[in-house]
Amino acid sequence: MPQSRFEVAVFGGGCFWCTEAVFSILRGVHSVSPGYAGGHVDHPTYDQVSAGTSGHAEVIRFEYNPSLISYPDLLNVFFATHDPTTVNRQGNDIGPQYRSVIFFTTPEQKISAEEFIRVLNTSEEQGAPVVTRIESLTKFWPAEDYHEKYYENHKEQSYCQIVINPKLQKVKEKFANLLASSTG
């Protein structure tokens, strides 16, 4: 059986609407899905996760082609587009569901993420220590359908305008070399 050219990564950087929008514009990234990981409730709902009672983080699960974009490049974008120095908070979103977390799917991803954080924590650039957790992915639960492609389907909403648009602009400026060719 031929091996898939895609690998799976799962990142939680606060609101999954933001993270999905950011990773959807990168070259080599395929099938970005918002969902939940790291909790203790089977089949969690958005209401359970939002209440902070299920233990899950809002995450995205995506497939990427490592011949088009490397895992370290993905980590670079991830750490540049959220605050990895605050515990259980991203901007006005507060609670364990908004924690900064990497759910690794391979031993190589774990090693790469640990090294990336070690370098960030020894550099002058980051400032405060990185609190991003690195955990093994045990289960990914897809979010409800209305969360899929949220930014794409709601660009005119104030949250998208105020929170997501600046992140996308930052990615387009800082990571132009990593954008999909159809991204403006």
What residues act catalytically?
15
* Closest to 22 in 3D by CA, of 175, 177, 181: 175
In terms of Cα–Cα distance, which of 104, 41, 28 is closest to 70?
28
Is 101 in contact with 138 (CB distance < 8 Å)? no
d(Cα 99, Cα 13) in Å, to the nearest integer? 7
User: Residues with Cβ < 8 Å from 151, sequence gap 6 or more?
Assistant: 17, 18, 20, 21, 24, 160, 164
Q: Which two tokens stand for residue 52?
A: 């902070």
Kindly tell me the burial class for residue 183, based on how many C-beta atoms sit within 10 Å of its own C-beta (0-12, 13-18, 19 or more): middle
Strands 57-64 and 29-37: antiparallel
How many residues in the chain? Answer: 184
